[in-house]
Chain A
């Protein structure tokens, strides 16, 4: 379904933040906010919940740890027991380095892949770009024309001192 996005660009993160507060006072529903760098405090302003990525990272790490520990234990005691250096078959202290490395590896790879998947990103993915200067120096507030009428949005942008405004239809082919 095509969506009509009305957006305004601000010149600084301070202007952006006061505009967001103003939009919330006027009960205008913001579709999304785009910035050239991570602006701290936006998540609290926009009511974004804390990211749960780190929980995923913990789970992946735990899986990696178990794979390494159980895998090496099974190989050295069940599948092909060999005595190395006169030590017991199941010599757990010697497993520690590999268990650690696998924990880190699974956690890092899993989290990164999860990050790109849940954010809808990946090699060659094309997401709609509202304005080329958003990745440069402009701070963008976007309204969906379904939620906020075009005239309301434009009036809002004018009142809050947006530097530039525009309209973009996205997702035509869906």
Chain B
């Protein structure tokens, strides 16, 4: 009975034959070593941009938003464009962390930590714009509903702008909680490796994490519920941002397609930004074993899908504008394509709709240089999209006498550059104080996706990689087998052929003995007892009564009091008939193989 080799279904997500300690070393290194020259240079540049941003924001606050080129007609310009752009970028983190967690996409583990951090920093950049746009920033607390001495005057809860306040502050809070809770065990790892002042700091920030079994259990429960909460939340945020436009009565804005179209666009731009940052980080921090080309390809596929959804939305808008027969709607879109801002419309179409189509080809999806280039193109394109929606619509409203043109002042450009500086500065600080890749989570999936474990993994759960959720199965399998899960190798070759067509040809082992360990509750010792008693196949076992098996166990040496054979014949019957999927389902329903 030779080792069965089954065609691999999914690529390995951790390459380089890592063990747990090596993972710790690799992922802590960027934090523990002295900053490389590239980091110092990048930090200097982003800090300079940030400083310029602080200067232009101070200028705005001191002189008022008259320093911007907004006018009576075009009262939303670069500020709200940047706001929506940053909020969109802030969507990928939660999407990767929460939605991909719920969908059991294990490739998320390599990139979720950095993407979540990116989300938080992007939301900070986004939140800045409505604040300074209000004009009198010292009165910004008026937006919060609290009993006050001004009447009390309450905010207007029926306004989408008020919904924005709630949506964005909730999104920011939940993202921080989710991110930090995931970070605590890794900060504890850093704490236990650090010395002196750094140890004291990590002691404070790791919250006294010990890694106790109960804490891990609660931690996982918390992560799962937060993911469940964050999933509708992330969809609600950009939906509500789109309401800022969709609930108005302007042609080109007043459309029901906006929420899904904005959410798809947000995911699209968010993934592009994750790629931009991670492609640099993986190179500079030498994380190629954890963020593999397969991760990049997976993200490129999402970019292709969301980019195409966005493209469909653009075309639908155009079609519906024409089909509505409503002259103002028709004009709004005619103006977008041929009006004074035609260049932004074509920039948007080129960057967002045409460029991702390259990702239909595997060669491009797996080309790092091309991906990096395209990720920047997409970021630019998504900025154009928001500019098109906001500025080109406002520039040509109902009344031709109010038509106007707008281009930004140096202050507005400076604030935008400043938010880029803020974003990069925070990200660069982050890579120096915390692991960019989630250490504990990588260790958790190592035995499911690590390159050296892959072939074993493919034996049984080859058609799904959701293995880590089969908790109770793992316990008993592991305790009996001595190594982790998925060890139903060798003699189950017939099972492989029935459950995975790809395996045909790789396996051709006829057996006289069955692997009785596949029965939940039977381990190597009990198998030996049974085989010694002449019970070697599933068919034989299926023909027995539980009492008979119990008698055999009682007679045998060793303590088998924990192993109750009440369901073994039933399971064996399924196995004997080759109903592997049904057996697997049965075993998931019945804990520990009990009734």
Q: Which residues of A contact B (CB under 8 A)?
A: 12-14, 17-18, 21, 25, 32-46, 48, 51, 53-54, 57, 61, 71-72, 75-76, 79-80, 82, 84-85, 87, 91, 94-95, 97-98, 100-102, 104-105, 107-109, 111-112, 115-116, 118-130, 132-137, 140
- Shortest Cβ distance from A135 into chain B, in angstroms? 4
Give chain A residues whose Cβ lies under 8 Å from the Cβ of B219. Answer: 38, 115
Contacts A39-B216, A97-B163; is A80 near B152 (CB within 8 Å)?
yes
Cβ-defined contact, A98 with B162, below 8 A: yes
23 contacts across the A-B interface (CB closer than 8 A): A32-B213, A34-B212, A36-B443, A38-B219, A42-B216, A43-B217, A43-B471, A101-B163, A105-B170, A105-B173, A108-B174, A108-B177, A108-B226, A121-B207, A127-B208, A128-B210, A129-B210, A134-B210, A135-B185, A135-B188, A135-B189, A136-B24, A136-B192
* B221 sits at the interface (CB 8 A): yes
Q: Which of B339-397 contact A (CB under 8 A)?
A: none
Determine the residue in chain B with the shortest Cβ distance to A19: B479
Query: Given the complex, which residues of A lie within 8 Å of B285, measured CB to CB?
Result: none
Q: Let me know if A51 and B218 touch, CB within 8 A.
A: yes
A5 to B: closest C-beta gap in Å: 12
Query: In the complex the two chains form, is A14's CB within 8 Å of B478's CB?
Result: yes
Contacts known (A97-B236, A108-B229); A120 close to B208, Cβ less than 8 A: yes
The 9 closest A-B pairs by CB, nearest first: A41-B475, A125-B208, A137-B20, A132-B192, A127-B208, A51-B221, A101-B166, A94-B158, A37-B440
Q: Is the CB of A115 within 8 A of B207?
A: no
Contact B233 A34 (CB under 8 A): no
Main secondary structure of the interface of A (DSSP, over half): helix
B484's partner among A13, A97, A101 (CB-CB below 8 A) is A13
* Contact A41/B211 with A21-B479, A75-B154, A118-B218 known, Cβ cut-off 8 Å: no
- How many B residues touch the partner, as a band? 35 or more
Instruction: Point out the residues of chain B lying under 8 angstroms from A44, CB to CB.
Output: 471-472, 475, 591-592
Report the minimum CB–CB distance from A39 to chain B (whole Å).
Answer: 7
Query: Is there contact, CB below 8 Å, between B192 and A34?
Result: no
User: Is B55 on the interface with A (CB-CB < 8 A)?
Assistant: no
Flag whether B280 is at the interface (Cβ < 8 A).
no
Contact of A54 among B152, B221, B471 (CB under 8 A): B221
Tell which of B160, B205, B216, B218 touches A35, judged by Cβ atoms closer than 8 Å. Answer: B216
| Separation of A107 and B185 alpha carbons in the complex (Å) | 22
Q: Which one of B167, B220, B482, B562 lies within 8 Å of A97 (CB-CB)? A: B167
Q: Note all chain A residues with C-beta closer than 8 A to B586.
A: none
Cβ A37 vs Cβ B443 within 8 A? yes
Closest chain B residue to A94, Cβ basis: B158
A17 partner, pick from B21, B145, B151, B475, beta carbons under 8 A: B475
Expressed in whole angstroms, the minimum distance between the Cβ of B254 and any Cβ of chain A is 14
Q: Which residues of B contact A91 (CB under 8 A)?
A: 158
Other-chain contact of B21, A40, A137, A140 (Cβ < 8 Å): A137
**Cα(A98)–Cα(B154), bound, Å:** 14
Contact residues, B196-248 vs A (CB, 8 A): 203-205, 207-222, 224-226, 229-230, 232-233, 236, 240, 243
Are B213 and A35 in contact, with the CB atoms below 8 A? yes
Q: Is the CB of B208 within 8 A of A36?
A: no
Q: Which residues of B contact A135 (CB under 8 A)?
A: 185, 188-189, 191-192, 209, 211
Known A44-B471, A48-B214, A115-B218; contact A104-B174, beta-carbon cutoff 8 A: yes
Closest Cβ neighbor of B23 among chain A residues = A137
Set of chain B residues within 8 Å of A102, measured between Cβ atoms: 166, 170
State which of A17, A41, A87, A123 has its C-beta within 8 Å of the C-beta of B472: A41
CB pair A40 B468 closer than 8 Å: yes
B26 at the binding interface (Cβ < 8 Å): no
Of A34, A51, A115, A118, which contacts B181 at CB under 8 A? A115
Q: Which residues of B contact A87 (CB under 8 A)?
A: 158
